[in-house]
Amino acid sequence: MMGSGKSTIGRMLAERTGWRYHDNDELLQRERGLTARALLAAEGEAELRSAEAKALMLGLRQPEPCIVGAPAGTILEATSRHALATHAIVVWLRATPATLAARAVGADHRPWLEGSAEEWMRTTLAERAPLYESVADCSVDTDDMQPRATTAEILAWLRTGDTCGRWLISS
């Protein structure tokens, strides 16, 4: 979900591992030349979702090892879920709707947050959480964790193949 820390954590993981990081917003702009918000306004939700799916596939085609910040809405498409489940190690950066809204509000490139950002997050997360969980190899609750601690937990999991410190039930 937007506001979960994908870009921050992705960049920190790239720094620590030496792997290349591919940001979802940058992949989308590379694919379509527009931000998510601009694409939604110009061509509608269906076209945004299609472009996000293409951006995800572009990220998954990058030379390995690499880190890809997946566009959050791609989880809605079965093809994207299948690609994530079969071609990636997926870390779900999980947070409450209040945390997600607080982190995401104010970013001009992000759509959907014009009204009640927290309500949108709550509704959207309720729909998507089971889908995220279905592809996640590891889940990290980022509400009360600083990015460095989250990064360290993911790195420890990658080294050991264990369960990312703790598996938490989705809310």
pLDDT in tens, 141-164: 999 999 999 999 999 999 886 544
Checking if the pLDDT of 90 tops 80, the result is yes
The reply to whether omega before 147 is within 30° of 0 (cis) is no
Q: Three-state SS string across 7-27, please?
A: HHHHHHHHHHHCCEEECHHHH
Beta bridge partners of 67: 21
Checking if the pLDDT of 111 tops 80, the result is no
Checking if the pLDDT of 166 tops 80, the result is no
Give the contacts of 146 (CB within 8 A, at least 6 positions apart): none
Which helix (H) or strand (E) element contains residue 36? helix 36-43
Checking if the pLDDT of 38 tops 80, the result is yes
Task: Tell me how far apart the alpha carbons of residues 48 and 38 are, in angstroms, rounded to a whole number.
Answer: 9
pTM of the predicted model, to two decimals? 0.84
Checking if the pLDDT of 76 tops 90, the result is yes
State the number of CA atoms in the 13 A half-sphere of 88 facing the CB.
Answer: 25
Overall average pLDDT of the 23-43 stretch: 87
Task: Tell me how far apart the alpha carbons of residues 105 and 118 are, in angstroms, rounded to a whole number.
Answer: 9
51-63 pLDDT per residue, tens:
999 999 999 999 9
Higher pLDDT, 168 or 57: 57
pLDDT at 35: 85
Q: Is the dihedral of CA 94, 99, 105, 106 positive or negative?
A: negative
Question: Quick one: tokens of 25?
Answer: 């917003």
Provide, rounded to the nearest whole percent, the portion of the chain with pLDDT above 70: 87
Go through the domains of the chain in sequence order and give each one's CATH number: 6-160 (3.40.50.300)
Task: Tell me how far apart the alpha carbons of residues 155 and 107 are, in angstroms, rounded to a whole number.
Answer: 28
Checking if the pLDDT of 165 tops 50, the result is no
Task: Tell me how far apart the alpha carbons of residues 153 and 165 are, in angstroms, rounded to a whole number.
Answer: 7
pLDDT at 115: 64
